[in-house]
Structures are given as C-alpha cells and as structure tokens.
Amino acid sequence: MNDIDVAELQRRLAAFAAARDWGQYHTPKNLAAALSVEASELLEIFQWLTPEQSAAVMEDPETVHRVADEVADVFAYLLQFCQVLGIDPTAALAAKVERNEKRFPLPEAPEPEDRHSSE
C-alpha cells in the first residue's frame, strides 16, 4: 500500500465536483445512494462465482481493472459522504475496531492440564 492522504483525496474530490457544479447533488442521501449503487456494481462482478473463483478473481487482468475501478468508486463516494457529514473516516474506523475488539474478545486460552495431578 502507498501512503496517500485521505484528506487530500477528499479535497481533490470536492474540487472535482465543485468545478462541475455537482455540489448541489452531493447531499447525504444522494451520496449514500450512489455508494450503494457502486457497492452493488462491485458485488455484480462476484455474483455468480464460486468461492474458489471469487478468490482467484485478481488473476484475470481484465477483472483486476474492473474490481479496482469499482473499489475506487465505492471509496470515492464514501469519502465524499464523510466529508459532507463531517465524519473523519479513519477516526470512525479506528473507533469501530476498538469497539469490536471489546465486543468480540479473543477466546481465552485453555488452562494447561496438570500432568502431575492424581485426578
């Protein structure tokens, strides 16, 4: 992975939309809908694949391009959605991971059996 600044991507996306006067359409509802549509387009690539085929999808250069484009579309709309609502996506994710770590703790290791016990 490379270290691309999320805030810089958000600025670029906002500038791109502003230059085309698209800001009027970038309401939370519209961005959530667009995000859902793009996620569905990503799902469509995998829709009828077996688990084995889906695991190997990145071996086909044509599919690599399609998957990467749909991931980019999902990410772009997510970043725009977060910007419109004032959500820091990296802070939101970090907080969610922390909550999940507390909700779903690692199972405790079983106690080692005492080999010297007479029981």
Q: Is the pLDDT of residue 117 over 90?
A: no
Q: Average pLDDT for residues 14-28, to the nearest whole number? A: 96
> pLDDT digits over 22-43, tens only?
999 999 999 999 999 999 999 9
pTM over 0.85: no
Spell 4-20 as b/e; 16+ CB within 10 A means b.
Answer: eeeeeebeebbeebeee
Q: Is the pLDDT of residue 1 over 60?
A: no
Which token pair is 62? 């044509």
**Which long-range contacts does 14-20 make (Cβ < 8 Å, 24+ apart)?**
14/80, 14/83, 17/80
Which token pair is 15? 């500038």
